Amino acid sequence: MKRLFLPATLLFIGLVLAGCGAPPPLVSDRYLNDNSLVTGDPCSAPCFQNITVGKTTFADALTLIRNNANFKDLQSQDNPPQAAWNAANGEPCCQMTANAQTGIVDALLIRVAPVMTVREVIEKYGEPPYVSVLPRDYSETETALGLIYPKQGNVLWVMPGNAQSSLDPNDPVVIVLYLNPADFDRLLETAELNGWLGYATVAEYRAATPVLTPRVTPTPN
């Protein structure tokens, strides 16, 4: 089981999207079929499937995962507390970490099928205050932009296409990262982020002057 590194590396450099060898596609109907981020059913961010980041204990979260028919093949360890599991169709989808001292869940990373769009997210939460841009493409055909919502505790990776593409209202959300909103001020201290430019090109986002630059040097978690 791979360690889910937090916070700075995962959030703002996007290493979670890259791996050794050929990476899995960003967009796949076989990832978790979940649109709860925009429907609020069964709960709203920073809650996912009744697990609330910053409140739910790791032990209780494991019980909720085991009892959820949408999930299977749970793997977990206690030191450090982390877990990974698959969608019911067998595709790896989800990772979770918890604070080793408190035992409280501090992050959830969910790969989702393309059932939510940028338009739906903005209709629900408004335009994102910040946007994270990958320093390189994920693959020859896919790149990603991260829409940052500190108030909700979310980083939403969306896939506009390749490096020559423009962000579009119908582009799919492909990864949802749930974090504790109370931790976001600390996380943003290590971030270099752009502002929202609207439905601009990937190139324009990459060329834009950051609106937020690191105030402290990030350290490994």
The closest alpha carbon to 152, from 189, 114, 183, belongs to 183
The closest alpha carbon to 178, from 80, 70, 53, belongs to 53
The count of structural domains within the chain is: 1
CB 156, CB 129: distance < 8 Å: no
Could you tell me if residue 213 is inside a domain? Answer: no
Could you tell me if residue 164 is inside a domain? Answer: yes
Give the residue numbers spanning the domain of 104: 8-207
- SS3 sequence of the chain: CCCCCCCHHHHHHCHHHCCCCCCCCCCCCCCECCCHHHHCCCCCCCEECCEECCCCEHHHHHHHHHCCCCEEEEEEEECCEEEEEEECCCCEEEEEEECCCCCEEEEEEEEECCCCEHHHHHHHHCCCCEEEECCCCCCCCCEEEEEEECCCCEEEEEEEECCCCECCCCCEEEEEEEECHHHHHHHHCCCCEECCCCCCEHHHHHHCCCCECCCCCCCCC
Could you tell me if residue 3 is inside a domain? Answer: no
The predicted structure's pLDDT at residue 87: 97
Could you tell me if residue 127 is inside a domain? Answer: yes
Average pLDDT per consecutive 10 residues, the chain (221 residues; last block may be shorter):
42 42 83 97 97 97 98 94 94 92 94 97 97 83 92 94 95 94 85 93 95 71 49
Could you tell me if residue 94 is inside a domain? Answer: yes
- Retrieve residue 187's tokens: 């996380």
The predicted structure's pLDDT at residue 21: 53
The closest alpha carbon to 138, from 114, 154, 160, belongs to 160
The closest alpha carbon to 123, from 160, 53, 173, belongs to 173
The predicted structure's pLDDT at residue 200: 97
Could you tell me if residue 158 is inside a domain? Answer: yes
What is the Cα–Cα distance from 140 to 6, expressed in whole angstroms?
27
pTM for the structure as a whole? 0.90
Could you tell me if residue 30 is inside a domain? Answer: yes
> Half-sphere exposure of residue 112, counting CA atoms within 13 Å on the CB side?
25
Could you tell me if residue 72 is inside a domain? Answer: yes
What is the Cα–Cα distance from 163 to 186, expressed in whole angstroms?
31
